[in-house]
Each structure stands twice: as C-alpha cells, then as structure tokens.
Structure 1
Amino acid sequence: MPNITLHQQNGTYEQEVQEGSNLVVLAGVKKLPHLKYGCGMGKCTKCTIRVIAGGESLQEPNWKEQKMLGERLEQGYRLACQLYITADLEFSQE
C-alpha cells in the first residue's frame, strides 16, 4: 500500500492508503482529516498541494488542473481532488 506524507504548518502526518485512493475522498470520509478541501471537483483550488516527492507516479495534469493552476503546475502544485495515489507521495499544503 502506498504511504502518503502531508506537511502542514501545524505538523506532519503520515499514513498508508489503498492504491488508487483519491486524497479528497479520503479527507471527506475522515481518513485524512488534516487535508483541506472544498468542492472536490477541481473548481475551487482549496485542495491545492505542492508535491515534494513521488510526483513521477502521478498521472499527467488534466484540463481542470491546467486551467486552475496554470504555471504553478511547473512548480509542483497539483489539485488533490484530481489525484489518484498509486505509489508513495510526499506533499505539503498551506
């Protein structure tokens, strides 16, 4: 099972997740309670994260991420609601 590591100002949180899990769905069912999110559909950007390690295992940014994040994609930012975890991932969220 993939391991995720979330860094925030108030701490670092690690846990294993099922392969293919969506981060915002996990947050919604309280299995990842520290992740901030809003609409879950790629429209509000409240779930924006910055990938620190493991980004190579993520799918390419979709049109929603390209529209909402633009050039920030090149800096490692992604929308958690659009990601499905298949390998270890380390990321931060402001």
Structure 2
Amino acid sequence: MPTITFHKNGQTHVGEVQENTNLVVRAGIKQFPFPYLTYGCGMGKCAKCACRVLEGAEHLPAANWKEKKQLGERLDQGWRLACQLWINQDIVLEQAEIQEVQ
C-alpha cells in the first residue's frame, strides 16, 4: 500500500492508501488526508488541489491537458493537480495556501 506524506501549514500528515487511489476522492469521502487537502471541483478546472510533489514524481504519469492548462510553468517546478493523480507508489506532497500557489 502506498504511503502518502502530506505537508501543509508546517504540519506533516502520513497515511497509507490503497493502490490506485485518488486523494481528492478520498478527501471527499472523509478518508486520508481529509480535512487537510484543499480541493474544489475534483475535475481539474479550479486548481485548488494543486500540490508540489517533493518525492515520487517519477512514479506519476505525465501531466494531462488539464494540468498543463491550470499549472502552466509550475509543472516544471513539480506542481500537480491532486484530483488528476491516481497514486500507486509512495509519494511526498506539499500544499501551499491558495494565495501562495497562484
């Protein structure tokens, strides 16, 4: 089972999820990392779930068109949309407040 390490507001939250887990779906049904992950639409349109991947990016698929549209140059800095990621390997994520990301 993949381990998710999630950094936000100076705190670290760690938990395991089943393989092929989407963190926004899990947050929506009040499982890890709820209530820590900020998210909105869950469809790649609002970018509220943007996270910087600190470790494990090599296990993720390439960014899709929604991520490219919403994140632009931030993709090169390791940012991804959590709603577009299905986690199969250990990953370390950091989420800044919305104001910091934009």
TM bucket (normalised to shorter chain) is over 0.9
Shift of 1:8: 0.6
Residue correspondence of structure 1 range 46-85 to structure 2 within 5 A: 46-85=48-87
The answer as to 2:14 corresponding to 1:14 is yes
Q: What code does the residue aligned with 2:4 have?
A: I
Q: What TM-score results when the alignment is normalised by the length of structure 1?
A: 0.97
Q: Which has the higher strand share?
A: 1
> d(CA) in 2 for partners of 1:63 and 1:45?
13
Unaligned runs of 5+ in 1: none
> d(CA) in 1 for partners of 2:54 and 2:40?
22
The answer as to 2:1 corresponding to 1:5 is no
Residue deviations 1:5-62 (CA, integer Å, cap 9, x gap): 0001141100000000001001101112111100000000000000000010011100
RMSD (Å) for aligned C-alpha atoms: 0.7
Unaligned runs of 5+ in 2: 97-102
SS in 2 for 1:44: coil
Residue correspondence of structure 1 range 9-48 to structure 2 within 5 A: 9-31=9-31, 32-33=33-34, 34-48=36-50
Aligned length: 94
Residue 91 of structure 1 aligns with which residue?
93
